[in-house]
Structure 1
Amino acid sequence: MMVRARGAWRLGVFLSLLFILTASLGPVLYTADPNAQNLLAALSPPAAEYPLGTDQLGRDVLARVLHGARYSAGIAVAVIALSLVTGCALAGVAMWFGGAIAAALTLFSDAVYALPGLLVIILLADVLGGGAAVIIFLLWLVKWPEYFRLSYAVGNQLMNSDHVLASRLAGASGWRIFRFQVLPVMTSYLLSLGAVSVGQIVLSIATIGFLGVGIAPPQAEWGMMINDLRIYWQISPVQLAAPVAAIVWVVLALLIVSQSMPAPKPRSSDA
């Protein structure tokens, strides 16, 4: 079972790294303009000039998929970074002060977490308009409670565990306990949550793009591409399958990583 888990984890990491390389280097290596229209070549099948064919406006589907990957990856990284900083910082405040402050922060995070996140994003995106900044803000708004709840729960459990109490009795400083016994375990949990969150964010971006309340045209975005091409699926199945396959690729890769990530092992604070 352990060998299978390691193999699955390596596969997930490989697919994730491949996506990162594709998102970062793809538009550089394949320099076709994703917004250039050629109506005479609309809905052309895959060929040498257009490896994945063209859409209904004659735009290069491969170029748009590659630029859509960069767009989705950039937003996902920004949202995860903001949510991680916000959640961990508030969890630290709650653990440090405790009492009423911890109760208030926990109640507030629970209230935000209980909201139907995707519905809130769709409604507010329609009101505030599209754009990367708006999408990042809305996704952060519904994502940070996950990091707060996890950090606070794991941090409290670790700080009250037997091995941490033993280290305190042995005279270990709070910084050494945090560095060697708390941080490694929390990092593993947060990485696992981050991997799942990226997949969820990519799906959320595609959903709001599909509904037409995400990024404004002509920016290439996978959900918007699916919405534009879905009525042509019988004559252009490859063009429609390209953004769908990209979404499945990212979500599946990160799900494998999160499910097969090695268990955290705290080190001794005497090290």
Structure 2
Amino acid sequence: MARKANAAKVRLIIMLFIVAALCIFCAIAPHFMPNDPNRAELLSAKQAPSEKFPWGTDALGRCVLSRVLSGAATTVFSALLIVVLSLVVGCAVGVICGYFGGGLDAFMMRVVDVFLAFPGMVLALAVAGMLGKGLNNAIIALVATGWCQYARLSRSYVLSLRQENFVLAARLNGQSSNSIMMKHILPNALRPVIVTASLSIGGAMLSLAGLSFLGLGAQAPAAEWGSMLSDGRGLMQKAPWIVLYPSLAIFVSSVLFNLMGDSVRDVLDPLDSRNIFSKVIPTKKGNF
């Protein structure tokens, strides 16, 4: 058991290091662009990979490598922002509703039920369509449709935690509701939420790329991997490199984030019987 626990920890450390390296690379990637990502050279349009354009050019003669590097930070960090904002909003709603209950809880959970009744991408398309085109509106649309799962999950844990002895003792000790929620309930409810969030980053990236592919995300001339796929979808046979490299970038990034999420789940998920923390007493149990 100890050997499996140590192996899970090692895998998590390795994946966190790799993902951190990916994020650092995305931040500094624009410094390695061989050409201006927005400079159009019509005489070089749809040019195959060459010394000047290592990954070829698109229909307007723009360097594909430069645009992939330019759009790395936009795509990856936007996906991270979507997950973080969804987690914050969802946890706030879930903890408050689960702790206080009553009419507010009933109303908000019916709202969550309505949101969860629709496929997430369909609802995001509807919200993005109402807000209009643009990267910021696409992020808002995905956050507006993504917070529900965190609200439902955190509420379910709060309902079980609020009757625990350490919470009852904190109430008898005179602590306020805000103090109990922040110091005792939230830290114990965060673990499964963090697992879900880590597994959702790749999906958020794909959803954002999907909205951009449909023209609802980043707008020209900004480089974003999803919009690059949209620009090259009609040239897949004549110039496949236009969509090949953005697709590979999305694929590799999504796989890395999913592998990291699997590693986080192996270490933190309290519902997994193989989990090294499944028998641990809540960390805040003795702090009143």
Q: TM-score, normalised by structure 2?
A: 0.80
Partners of 2:136 and 2:185 lie apart in 1 by 34
1:205 touches 1:223 (CA, 8 Å); kept in 2?
yes
Identity %: 29
Aligned to 1:53: 56
Partner residue of 1:267?
283
Show structure 2 runs of 5+ residues with no match.
269-276
Cα displacement string for residues 157-192 of structure 1 (whole angstroms, at most 9, x for unaligned residues)? 23334x63686599696747963x644443332222
1:156-167 correspondence runs (5 A): 156-161=159-164, 164=166
Q: How does 1:157-196 map to 2 (within 5 A)?
A: 157-161=160-164, 164=166, 175=179, 179=183, 182-196=185-199
Query: Deviations along 1:75-103, whole A, 9 cap, x unmatched?
Result: 22332333223222222321342122211
**Which residue number in structure 1 is paired with residue 232 of structure 2?**
229
Q: 1:17 aligns with which of 16, 20, 24?
A: 20
Contact 1:192 1:257 in 2 (8 A): no
Quick one: which amino acid aligns to residue 36 of structure 2?
D
User: Residue 117 of structure 2 aligns with which residue?
Assistant: 114
SS of aligned partner of 2:217 = coil
Give the paired residue count: 269
Measure the CA separation in 1 of the matches of 2:63 and 2:204. 25
| Alpha-carbon RMSD | 2.8
**2: CA distance, partners of 1:148 / 1:177:** 15
- Partner of residue 86, structure 1: 89
Matches for 1:122-271 after TM superposition, within 5 Å: 122-161=125-164, 164=166, 175=179, 179=183, 182-261=185-264, 262-263=267-268, 265=280, 266-267=282-283, 269-270=285-286
Give, in whole Å, the separation in 2 of the partners of 1:65 and 1:95.
Answer: 44
Gaps of 5+ in 1: none
Q: CA deviation at 1:24?
A: 0.9
Q: Out of 225-234 and 96-105, give the one that drifted further.
A: 225-234
Rate the CA distance shift 1:268–1:112 in 2: closer, same or farther, 3 A: closer
Query: Could you tell which deviates more after superposition, 233-242 or 147-156?
Result: 233-242
Q: Give the direction of change, closer, same or farther, for the CA distance of 1:82–1:165 in structure 2 (3 Å limit).
A: closer
Worse overlay, 97-106 or 167-176:
167-176
Distance (whole Å) between structure 2 residues aligned to residue 128 and residue 176 of structure 1: 38
